[in-house]
Homo-oligomer: A and B are copies of this chain.
Amino acid sequence: MALAEPCRAELIAVGTEIVIGQIHNGHAREISQELAKHGMYVYYHSAVGDNEARIIETFSIASRRSNAVIATGGLGPTQDDLTKEALAKFLGRRLVLSQEALAEVESYFKQRGRPMPEQNRKQALVIEGGEWIPNPNGTAPGQYVFDNGVHYFLLPGPPLEMRPMLQNYVIPRLVDHFGGTRKLVSRILHFCGIGESDVDARIADLTCKDNPTVAPYAGEGEMVLRITASGPTEEACWELIRPVEDELRRRFAPFIYGVDDDSLASVVLRRLQETGSTLAVAESCTGGMLAEMITDVPGSSAAFVGGVVAYDNRVKASVVGVRAETLATHGAVSEPTARELAEGVREKLGATYGIGVTGIAGPGGGTPEKPVGLVYVGLAGPRGSRVYELRLRGSRAQIRIRSCKQALWRLWQELNGDSDVGRDKTGRGEKG
């Protein structure tokens, strides 16, 4: 068997509502993910409004650089629905009525006890030489045409219509043409406590390779490395990925907290459950965000007891038990307050671990001694207490998110018995 050329896919979303920002182009991500699962790469996404000339131009560009083009939207019955018409014009082909497609559109209305409006007839037109794709969930059949080395698929915009047509028709057709030849597998490693540039400086020997590729990208308060391999089988891909993952773990062991769909909250919760431990949190500047990140994980109630949002100083004192003297002497944003928040919430809520967060998220409230971005994270547990001082930059939202991530990260280290690592000048730890 001759080796097929690899799939170079391109996605086109058609609709003025997308380019003016009224709705969001969710199909791009979803279709890319589906194709990747089957070893096929998407190289371009584009979106264009309901304008025939611009849709034609977009198909023309795609035809020169891609061999699989999946367009979504613009297959409805109105004058604004132009995708099929534009592709037919671009390919110089006629639109012909398909009796079979017409019967499907008519049956859709019949099932609802309504006559088919005349304008829906145009949905049964098929590009000459192509095929129509059944749509069990709507009136707009899809289209498939192969022309000059390029496979074109047109699918309707509504997600509940598009999805089964992608699964049942487009993917099998593409796998038939391009699949079988190569699989694509990605492994994601999640890092915390180390900057993107620090990681990058130590992986130049890995990022320069072609297979597997290693690519870093930064999240908010953490970062991710993606290892992607292609090979004839999934197992062959994993054989390429494993040694690279092992090597990355050798270099960055203390900073890698999870893989694939893990989050800091999910790995912390898992470890708490494994060790039969529980957690309670007392938050000032993060105002509930830390508890929210934790309870966002389904099943979090197994290890998360609860929390106190101690915004007002009286709540810090009355509910969590921070001493009035501590607040008066050191202030709400201080190491002793963070410690007493952690210890107090641990005791009052009866948890194995307590976290206390207090700081200045801005935009107001900063002073020369205590600037915006100064945050203390207290951690109390069976082995005593620690407080970490953070100096964060950014907007109110960034400072809050990063404070939460740092708190979870410090607890994760504590749970792994290596809470001495990862302390740099931005977060010093002290024994309580």
Kindly state the separation between the CA atoms of A425 and B204 in the bound complex, as whole angstroms. 61
Please tell me if the beta carbons of A15 and B61 are within 8 angstroms of each other in the complex: no
Is the CB of A98 closer than 8 A to any CB of chain B? Answer: no
Give the CA-CA distance A195 to B78 in the complex, in Å: 12
Find residues 269-317 in chain A having any chain B CB closer than 8 Å to their own CB: 280-281, 283, 286-292, 294-296, 298-301, 304-312, 314-315
The chain B residue with its CB closest to the CB of A24 is B29
- For the complex, what is the distance from the CA of A135 to the CA of B323, rounded to whole Å? 41
Contacts of A79 in B (CB 8 A): 200, 204, 207-208
Given the contacts A160-B398, A311-B301, A44 and B47 also touching, CB distance less than 8 Å: yes
Q: Are B300 and A291 in contact (CB under 8 A)?
A: no
Q: A201-B117, A425-B113 are in contact. Are A305 and B312 (CB under 8 A)?
A: yes
How many chain A residues touch B (Cβ–Cβ < 8 Å)? 124
**CB pair A306 B308 closer than 8 Å:** yes
- Contact assessment for B197 and A78 in the assembled complex, using a CB-CB cutoff below 8 Å: yes
Partner of A77, one of B44, B200, B362: B200
Q: A160-B397, A306-B315 are in contact. Are A20 and B41 (CB under 8 A)?
A: yes
Q: Report the Cα distance A395→B24, complex, angstroms.
A: 19
Question: When chains A and B are docked, how far (Å) is the Cα of A305 from the Cα of B284?
Answer: 10
Once the chains are docked, how many angstroms separate the CA of A400 from the CA of B424?
37
A157 CB contacts on chain B under 8 angstroms:
217
Q: Are B46's CB and A19's CB within 8 A?
A: no
Using Cβ atoms and an 8 Å threshold, which residues of chain B touch A18?
28-29, 45
Whether the pair B314, A396 counts as a contact (CB closer than 8 A) is: no
> In the bound complex, how far is the Cα of B291 from the Cα of A315, in angstroms?
14
For residue A180, CB closer than 8 A to chain B, the reply is no
The answer to whether A363 has its CB under 8 Å from any CB of chain B is: yes
- A114 to B364 Cα, complex, angstroms: 25
Minimum CB distance partner of A34 in chain B: B21
Residues on the B chain within 8 Å of A200, using CB: 77-79, 119
**Chain A 375-419: CB-based contact to B (< 8 A → 1; otherwise 0):** 000000000000000010111111010000000000000000000
Q: How far does the Cβ of A44 sit from chain B's closest Cβ, in whole Å?
A: 6
Oligomeric state, in copies: 2
Residues in B neighbouring A100, C-beta threshold 8 A: none
Query: CB < 8 Å: which of B36, B217, B309 contacts A288?
Result: B309
B32 touches A45 (CB 8 A): no
Pairwise interchain contact B44-A20, C-beta atoms closer than 8 A? no
Interface centre among A217, A393, A397 (most CB of B within 10 A): A217
Residues of B within 8 A of A160 (CB): 220, 394-395, 397-398
* A186 and B21 alpha carbons, distance in the complex (Å): 12
Instruction: Please tell me if the beta carbons of A289 and B287 are within 8 angstroms of each other in the complex.
Output: no
**Which residues of the other chain, B, contact A208 by a CB distance below 8 angstroms?**
79
Would you call B29 and A21 a contact (CB within 8 A)?
yes
Judged by a CB distance under 8 angstroms, whether A246 is at the interface is no
Please name all residues of chain B whose beta carbon is closer than 8 Å to the beta carbon of A299 when the two chains form the complex: 364
CB distance from A428 to the nearest CB of B (A): 10
Q: Does A349 count as interface, using CB distance less than 8 angstroms?
A: yes
Q: Does A328 contact B (CB under 8 A)?
A: no
Complex interface residues of chain A between 201 and 242 (CB less than 8 A to chain B)? 201, 204, 207-208, 215-218, 220, 226, 228
Could you give 19 example pairs across A and B, Cβ below 8 Å?
Answer: A18-B45, A20-B186, A21-B28, A21-B30, A21-B31, A21-B32, A28-B47, A45-B47, A76-B197, A76-B217, A79-B204, A80-B216, A112-B425, A137-B394, A164-B395, A286-B292, A295-B309, A305-B314, A312-B349
Q: Known pairs A46-B46, A78-B196; list 19 more (Cβ under 8 Å).
A: A22-B33, A22-B226, A25-B45, A43-B48, A43-B49, A76-B196, A76-B218, A80-B207, A112-B393, A112-B426, A113-B426, A138-B394, A160-B394, A283-B291, A286-B295, A291-B291, A296-B400, A306-B311, A318-B350
